Amino acid sequence: MRIDLVRDDVLGRPSKKAAAVALKAHLKVQGGAPLRAALSEELRRQPSLGGQERRFAALATRELSRHQRLLDLVARQLGHPPGQWALAEDRILVRYVLWRRLFTAADWSAIAPEVRLPGPLRPRSVLDPVLEGIASAPLPEIEASSSEVEAAAIRHSFPGWLAEAIAAQLPSGEVDLALAALNREPGVFLRAREPPGRNALLAELGSAGIGCEPVAWARAAIRILDPGMRVFDTPPLRSHRAQVQEPGSQLIAALCAPALRVADVCAGAGGKTLALADQVTARGQVFAGDRSRHRLEEARRRVREYGLSNVTFPQSLPLDTCDAVLIDAPCSGTGSLGREPDMKWKLTPQRVAELVATQRELLDEAAARVRPGAAIVYATCSLLREENWAQVEAFLARHPDFALQPAGEVLGEASAAVVSAAGFLEVWPHRTGTAGFFAARLVRRQG
Ligand SMILES: C[S@@+](CC[C@H](N)C(=O)[O-])C[C@H]1O[C@@H](n2cnc3c(N)ncnc32)[C@H](O)[C@@H]1O
């Protein structure tokens, strides 16, 4: 089985302390904690870790969730099925050793200082010679699977049902690429604000020694090529002349144009609110709301930080007087698994069904209130049919007074690579090297 090794410049610096952070965070994730929260908490507890060790700890935490299924399968084939260990600590230590072996090509001499007793994690019953065997014994071949999707699900560690659901949207032959892309470390992308605009920012970042390039299909987007996180400490970001934002998110905001009055009904922490505020200019207005007061507080803080005076947070959003209503719906997040790999194991078909019901309610509520000629932009960071194409088809069947406006008409030729034949914005990670997104523009017919 071919394995894509972690690139050296992405790995950071392994150490026993960094391994301890990753293992403790992974243990919490196994107990149900969100990965990002668990990782930040463990990193906070180890203030003495250097930057490169922190990088390793963060990567290792994501990788343990990403490759969980394959690592457990190999452990089983080496004679150490996860069920052999009563302690969760032992199970994840075995996972860690196998991850270092398989995905970073480390041998026991490199792994031993990170895990040898007294180890990075307590309690523990697995002994050093057993770990050494796991790091060194010849690897058995993984049995070939009967189906292309199941083979990809094993190779890229996806639950079978989720691999099937993603594969159902893709031409045969692409599933392996799609799942591989969802296991990659997420990139860093910027939205260039005006002024100074994308070209000026590319030049400025370049002269500060930050490798970067324009994203061809999103006119304000910049891809940061430098895997170090130095970009966050550069003048364009400190002075808010650029915003960290996925290109797909940028195009979702762009799909709300032209509009002077926009309602952002699931504004969350305000990522798209900021882009919408720039788009409607000082002449326009953005009305932001969200069910979560906590997230909306964060949105308020960012709006202040960016010095925007055209965003308000009214108790009730005036959907009936807006030109566009953005529903950036709560979703499975399957397009963002690179960032939140633990979601692969927390998501269930039942949870997806619940999300589909909420999305449908949000759509119907907006449909009842928008005025003729106005648009609902429905968006997700999901790759699943029920949340995307099927949700929109069902909406149009329930609401014959709405029609789909092809995304290409709004986004133009430059974004053709991410507009499907049916007229949806469809960003697939394996085609773009970004996170995945979907959006549809639904316009209420006049008269
Ligand atoms: C995908 S996130 C939004 C991300 C945000 N627009 C951004 O660009 O950063 C979905 C948001 O929907 C919110 N939400 C969930 N159910 C909702 C509801 N019934 N009404 C309004 N917001 C809801 C969640 O709190 C969450 O912040």
CA of 414 to the centre of ligand 1 (A): 29
Query: For 268-287, what is each residue's pLDDT tens digit?
Result: 999 999 999 999 999 999 99
Could you tell me if the CB of 269 is within 6 A of ligand 1? yes
Ligand 1, atom 17: closest residue by C-alpha:
291
End position of a domain, from candidates 244, 263, 282: 244
Percent of the chain with pLDDT over 70: 99
Residue 140: predicted pLDDT: 85
Do residues 369 and 418 both lie within one domain? Answer: yes
Could you tell me if the CB of 360 is within 6 A of ligand 1? no
Please tell me the number of Cα atoms within 13 Å of 170 on its side-chain side. 22
CA distance 307 to 316: 23
pLDDT of 142 higher than 90: no
Do residues 87 and 164 both lie within one domain? Answer: no
Could you tell me if the CB of 268 is within 6 A of ligand 1? yes
Query: For 229-238, what is each residue's pLDDT tens digit?
Result: 678 888 999 9
Angle at 420 between CA 418 and CA 424, to 5 degrees: 90
In-domain check, residue 1:
no
CA of 162 to the centre of ligand 1 (A): 23
Using 50, 70 and 90 to split pLDDT, how confident is the model at 141? confident
Question: Mean of the pLDDT values across residues 153-163?
Answer: 97
* Closest-lying ligand 1 atom to the alpha carbon of residue 292: 25
Do residues 199 and 77 both lie within one domain? Answer: no
Query: For 95-129, what is each residue's pLDDT tens digit?
Result: 999 999 999 999 999 999 999 999 999 999 999 99
Do residues 196 and 271 both lie within one domain? Answer: no
In-domain check, residue 19:
yes
Do residues 301 and 403 both lie within one domain? Answer: yes
Do residues 36 and 81 both lie within one domain? Answer: yes
In-domain check, residue 141:
no
Do residues 19 and 160 both lie within one domain? Answer: no
CA of 327 to the centre of ligand 1 (A): 8
Higher-pLDDT residue of 71 and 232 is 71
Ligand 1, atom 15: closest residue by C-alpha:
330
Do residues 31 and 156 both lie within one domain? Answer: no
Ligand 1, atom 6: closest residue by C-alpha:
267
Give the pair of three-digit tokens for residue 434: 């970004």
* Closest-lying ligand 1 atom to the alpha carbon of residue 299: 9
In-domain check, residue 142:
no
Please tell me the number of Cα atoms within 13 Å of 17 on its side-chain side. 15
CA of 268 to the centre of ligand 1 (A): 5
Q: What is the pTM of this model?
A: 0.96
Give the pair of three-digit tokens for residue 177: 């690429």
In-domain check, residue 143:
no
Mutation choice for ligand 1 from 246, 291, 306, 376, CB with most ligand atoms inside 8 A:
291
CATH code where residue 215 lies: 3.30.70.1170
Do residues 343 and 258 both lie within one domain? Answer: yes
* Closest-lying ligand 1 atom to the alpha carbon of residue 265: 21
Could you tell me if the CB of 326 is within 6 A of ligand 1? no
CA distance 196 to 192: 8
Ligand 1, atom 23: closest residue by C-alpha:
291
Do residues 56 and 43 both lie within one domain? Answer: yes
Omega before residue 258 within 30° of 0, cis: yes
Residue 229: predicted pLDDT: 63
Place of tokens 């007061």: 293
The mean predicted confidence, pLDDT, of the chain is: 96
Could you tell me if the CB of 271 is within 6 A of ligand 1? yes
Percent of the chain with pLDDT over 90: 94
Could you tell me if the CB of 265 is within 6 A of ligand 1? yes
Query: For 333-345, what is each residue's pLDDT tens digit?
Result: 999 999 999 999 9
Residue 378: predicted pLDDT: 99
Do residues 252 and 236 both lie within one domain? Answer: no
CA of 93 to the centre of ligand 1 (A): 36
Ligand 1, atom 27: closest residue by C-alpha:
268
End position of a domain, from candidates 196, 227, 244: 244
Could you tell me if the CB of 335 is within 6 A of ligand 1? no
Using 50, 70 and 90 to split pLDDT, how confident is the model at 393? very high
Could you tell me if the CB of 330 is within 6 A of ligand 1? yes
Could you tell me if the CB of 292 is within 6 A of ligand 1? yes
Using 50, 70 and 90 to split pLDDT, how confident is the model at 430? very high
Structural domain that includes position 122 = 8-136
pLDDT of 371 higher than 90: yes
In-domain check, residue 41:
yes
* Closest-lying ligand 1 atom to the alpha carbon of residue 272: 8
Do residues 228 and 258 both lie within one domain? Answer: no
Residue 395: predicted pLDDT: 98
CA of 296 to the centre of ligand 1 (A): 9
Could you tell me if the CB of 291 is within 6 A of ligand 1? yes
Please give the positions annotated as active site. Answer: 381
Residue 443: predicted pLDDT: 98
Could you tell me if the CB of 120 is within 6 A of ligand 1? no
Ligand 1, atom 3: closest residue by C-alpha:
268
Residue 143: predicted pLDDT: 76
In-domain check, residue 30:
yes
* Closest-lying ligand 1 atom to the alpha carbon of residue 330: 10
In-domain check, residue 375:
yes
How many domains, the chain? 4
Total number of residues shown for the chain: 447
* Closest-lying ligand 1 atom to the alpha carbon of residue 358: 19
CATH code where residue 432 lies: 3.40.50.150
* Closest-lying ligand 1 atom to the alpha carbon of residue 326: 6
Query: For 308-354, what is each residue's pLDDT tens digit?
Result: 999 999 999 999 999 999 999 999 999 999 999 999 999 999 999 99
CATH code where residue 132 lies: 1.10.940
Strands 324-328 and 375-380 come out as: parallel
pLDDT of 58 higher than 80: yes
Could you tell me if the CB of 163 is within 6 A of ligand 1? no
Could you tell me if the CB of 358 is within 6 A of ligand 1? yes
Residue 386: predicted pLDDT: 98
